[in-house]
């Protein structure tokens, strides 16, 4: 149970403003919460959302490559990365477009930052949602009027510009009052096509 968790598409709820919005810039800063939105826009949470769009019925998130291999079975597809590269023996990497068309019913995903962050959230939260730029409206619908924690996966244990940017976009839409001035600055900036490429994670991925 500590090595993997299963995800399914969230059921939409009515749109409303939550009572409180909290932001954890890294998994180490996560706290117990009723609802946590995990953000790893480059690339795990975007890959998960794209996998559901493509037709996968479930996504199993694994903390390690060995845990992912242990979940392999007929109808399941191993996907993931280490140092931005597809591991040996895995059918897919961690790029969203690789999930379409689907090669099975279940995607087993193990990544450096994203899936450990999801497992961290699952250990602390009743309800875990997956957030990226592709599904902001769906996340807002699923949060409804509940208090919410936004958990940024970051990069190698450090805060990342790209995940903070997406958190800022969500804070702006949720109407929350985060303590971090950086979040407010990113939210006010609005659409920033360069935000994903400007941070350390984006530069590493490009390289």
Give residue 81's region: left, alpha or beta (phi > 0; psi -120 to 50). beta
pLDDT at 18: 42
Q: How far is 166 from 13, CA to CA, in rounded Å? A: 21
pLDDT at 181: 44
- pTM (2 decimals)? 0.86
Cβ pair 81, 111 in contact under 8 A: yes
Backbone angles phi, psi at 42, to 5 degrees: -115, 85
Per-residue pLDDT 10s for the chain (207 aa) are 456 667 776 655 554 444 688 999 999 999 999 999 999 999 999 999 999 999 999 999 999 999 999 999 999 999 999 989 999 999 999 999 999 999 999 999 999 999 999 999 999 999 999 999 999 999 999 999 999 999 999 999 999 888 988 888 888 788 766 555 456 556 555 555 577 787 778 888 888
Q: Show the CA angle centred on residue 127, arms to residues 181 and 164, nearest 5°.
A: 25
């Amino acid at each position: 149970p500590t090595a993997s968790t299963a995800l399914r598409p969230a059921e939409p709820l009515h749109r409303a403003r939550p009572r409180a919005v909290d932001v954890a810039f890294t998994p180490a800063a996560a706290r117990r919460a009723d609802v946590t939105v995990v953000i790893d826009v480059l690339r795990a949470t975007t890959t998960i959302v794209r996998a559901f769009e493509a037709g996968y019925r479930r996504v199993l998130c694994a903390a390690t490559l060995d845990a992912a291999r242990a979940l392999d079975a007929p109808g399941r597809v191993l996907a993931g990365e280490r140092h931005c590269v597809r591991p040996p023996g895995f059918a897919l990497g961690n790029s969203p477009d690789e999930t379409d068309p689907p090669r099975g019913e279940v995607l087993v995903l193990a990544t450096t930052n994203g899936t450990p962050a999801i497992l961290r959230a699952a250990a602390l939260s009743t309800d875990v949602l997956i957030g990226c730029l592709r599904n902001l409206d769906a996340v807002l619908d699923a949060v409804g009027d509940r208090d919410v924690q936004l958990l940024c996966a970051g990069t190698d244990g450090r805060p990342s510009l790209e995940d903070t940017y997406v958190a800022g976009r969500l804070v702006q839409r949720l109407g929350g009052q985060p303590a971090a001035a950086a979040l407010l600055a990113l939210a006010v900036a609005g659409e920033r096509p360069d935000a994903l490429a400007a941070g350390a994670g984006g530069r590493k991925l490009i390289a």
